[in-house]
Structure 1
Amino acid sequence: MAYRIFLAGASGAIGQRLIPQLLAAGHQVTGTTRNADRAAKLGTLGVEPAVVDVFDADALSRAMRAARPDIVVHQLTDLPAGLDPSRMAEAVVGNARIREEGTRNLVAAAVASGVRRMVAQSIAWAFAPGSEPHAEADPLDSGASGNRGISVGGVIALETAVLNAPFAGIVLRYGQLYGPGTGADTPAGASPLHVDAAAYAALLALDKGAPGIFNIAEPNEAVSTRKAAVELGWRADFRLPA
């Protein structure tokens, strides 16, 4: 079935790999960006661009009402190109704000627009220390301090807002991304994930899977991804054609 999709963060690493999958499946896509130049590029890809800042709640609500989406896909982040280490301390704070305030605004706009489902990006390395591999029901590291505490706090705020909203909320806890646009060419971290496979999970979650959380990563010892394989039919080896 074809849907009207509101893709928040369309010009990001996952958004860029998700767009061709959405269009190939016959969906109509409105994609957000804060940058007018990136909006023009989205237009050339077949996406209806919406230049809007997620922190401007009124403008975001107007853009969503104009798009009349069935489903919102939340792929917003605020990270430096290539995950530049010299800028990551600042980015942790900005990214947490996106997850908390930005998600709150996005959920409010979705509710006002009558959206029936939201698929949102989270992370798979926010679990509290404990037995591995972590399943989705394991607790998050709410007692963390420093930059990790800021990051996990943002994750908890995002997931709470999406899962408690009056629509079907799907949270995809992504592993450490690599591939085009991510700044990493090869797998790294405890739960690596190719960006194409990350985008593929979002595509599947448009109409598969009960509301809730799914770990999305290549097979590893840190997190279990069995739920995504069984309920979404997700495959870690998915890649876009060259």
Structure 2
Amino acid sequence: MGKQLVPRLVRAGHEVFAMTRNASNKAMLSKLGAVPVIADALDRRQVEAAVRQANPEVIVHQLTAIDHIDTRNFDRSFAATNRLRMEGTDNLLAAGRAVGVRRFVAQSNGAFTYARTGGPVKSEADPLDPSPVSQMASMVAAVGHLEKAVLGAGWTEGIVLRYGAFYGPGTSMAPGSEQIEMIRRGKFPVVGKGGGVWSFVHVADAAEATVAAVEGGTRGVYNIVDDDPAAVADWLPEVARMLGARKPMRVPRFVGRLAAGEAGVVLMTELRGASNAKAKRELGWRPAHPSWRQGLAVS
């Protein structure tokens, strides 16, 4: 996201300070147009020093540490990111309050977190999952903490962006990525009826929406997803067709549970999608890739 977002903010006329804990990233961030600031997001004193150095009007919180998602160990895959969404969020908010930032924009998750009841597509008014499976409970709790903290910060204008499942450059669904290659090789089956509904978003469109949230909108939550939520039984065979692969096999839920864990079964069979109507209406945002059907074909 940072590689997509920073140049867009710079082109929009913003002075951007980019926080990283690795000094090795300084040259890359400078090339993107940002002023690099070195700080560990989990060290409150370092974060406060970094924010004081930048003295920003707006903080954009994009802290994550997701390298690889293993659905059999979903909680482990998200452990570092969960900590950033809790401790990292609290540290950024404290630092932002100290310098009086007027707006705080934070990345959240609208792809895996909505309650698995009711209709297939959710709005921002719908609740997060109140009873997630055990492997997903810590991730949903961390998202809930982030959203409550940001929206409850009365001293600033808190905006939460619930991104859909990313695809495009640098994502887990980029050309040649492990996930795409699994589909190509026929190793990504449809579990059960494949009724889980996914909402995707191209990472470039998510970055554009983030710029829009820096400059517009009001306190609240926005789903940042494309126009085409789709059940696994629809999107997975279509992506296989795009790749010239054979149609994915179908396996029963108990086989899926053995191979992908309980979280994997939820993602395949029970997930709910999200509506982008509010983001279109209030942020004036329109995804350049309105459907994963076209976006994945050209990404």
TM-score, normalised relative to structure 1: 0.87
For the pair 1:211 / 2:219, whether they are aligned, the reply is: yes
Question: Which of 143, 146, 149 is equivalent to 1:161?
Answer: 149
Question: Which of 166, 177, 181 is equivalent to 1:177?
Answer: 166
Pair member with larger Rg: 2
User: What displacement does 1:139 show?
Assistant: 0.8
CA contact (8 A) 1:174 1:216 kept: yes
Question: Which residue of the partner structure matches residue 265 of structure 2?
Answer: none
Task: Look up the SS of the partner of 1:28 in the other structure.
Answer: coil
Output one character per residue of 1:177-225: Cα deviation in whole Å (capped at 9) or x when no partner. Answer: 0111113127997001100001111100112111100001111342111
Question: Which residue of the partner structure matches residue 9 of structure 1?
Answer: none
Question: Which residue of the partner structure matches residue 48 of structure 2?
Answer: 61
Task: Look up the SS of the partner of 1:108 in the other structure.
Answer: helix
2: distance between equivalents of 1:201 and 1:174? Answer: 10
For the pair 1:120 / 2:171, whether they are aligned, the reply is: no
Question: Which of 65, 80, 95 is equivalent to 1:78?
Answer: 65
2: distance between equivalents of 1:109 and 1:59? Answer: 10
2: distance between equivalents of 1:223 and 1:45? Answer: 31
1: distance between equivalents of 2:132 and 2:70? Answer: 23
Unaligned ranges ≥5, structure 1 = 1-13
Question: Which of 278, 281, 284 is equivalent to 1:227?
Answer: 278
Question: Which residue of the partner structure matches residue 27 of structure 2?
Answer: 40
Question: Which of 13, 17, 31 is equivalent to 2:4?
Answer: 17
Instruction: State the one-letter code of the partner of 1:207.
Output: E
For the pair 1:96 / 2:74, whether they are aligned, the reply is: no
CA contact (8 A) 1:200 1:238 kept: no
Question: Which of 143, 149, 159 is equivalent to 2:137?
Answer: 149
2: distance between equivalents of 1:84 and 1:160? Answer: 27
Q: Percent identity?
A: 42
Task: Look up the SS of the partner of 1:171 in the other structure.
Answer: strand
User: What displacement does 1:113 show?
Assistant: 1.1
2: distance between equivalents of 1:207 and 1:183? Answer: 29
Give the structure with the larger helix fraction.
Answer: 2
**What number of residue pairs does the alignment pair up?**
226
TM-score, normalised relative to structure 2: 0.71
CA 1:205–1:131 in 2, change beyond 3 Å: closer, same or farther? same
User: What displacement does 1:145 show?
Assistant: 3.4
4+ runs of 1 displaced by more than 4 Å?
A: 82-89, 186-189
CA contact (8 A) 1:208 1:232 kept: yes
